Amino acid sequence: MIDLYHTDVPIECIQDAAIQFHVPIKIIITVLNIERGQLGALEKNKNGTYDIGPLQINSTWLPTLKKHGISQYDVQWNPCINVKIGTWLLAKAIASEGDLLKGISNYHSHTPYFNHQYSQQVKIRFTQLTYFLKD
């Protein structure tokens, strides 16, 4: 079963990020449902990096975020900041690719194999979400 939105992230934060970065709310919710990160969580990756919070922001972004006054603590414990940063990264990935599905999948990985797997999850979750939100 798919959640209509991630329980750690207030819907208002998702709406604000969608408006600010011009990413449809259903796409943000789809990615939240695939990533399944939790507020406060740090998930270690095989390459030594780690993913932070609900949208699983990779630690490689921390130096860039620090330049803008955003700390790891903010990304890890503030759901609105986490979804804002994740949506910004998602918008960048979509814009740089020029293909919506590939851009969304690049949010997860640029490696073709993992990108393809993620794109399949996006299709399934987005379809489920659209079905559950029908009038």
Instruction: Say what the pLDDT of residue 130 is.
Output: 78
Domain residue extents for the chain: 11-126
Q: pTM of the predicted model, to two decimals?
A: 0.88
Sequence-ordered list of residues with C-beta below 8 angstroms from that of 12, at least 6 positions apart, any chain: 80
Q: What is the largest CA-CA distance in the chain?
A: 45
Summarize pLDDT for 34-89 with one digit per residue, the tens: 999 999 999 999 999 999 999 999 999 999 999 999 999 999 999 999 999 999 99
3-state secondary structure at position 43: strand
Per-position DSSP letters for 17-40, written without gaps between them: HHHHHT--HHHHHHHHHHH---TT
| pLDDT tens digits, one per residue of 118-128 | 999 999 988 88
Distance from C-alpha of 35 to C-alpha of 61, rounded to nearest angstrom: 17
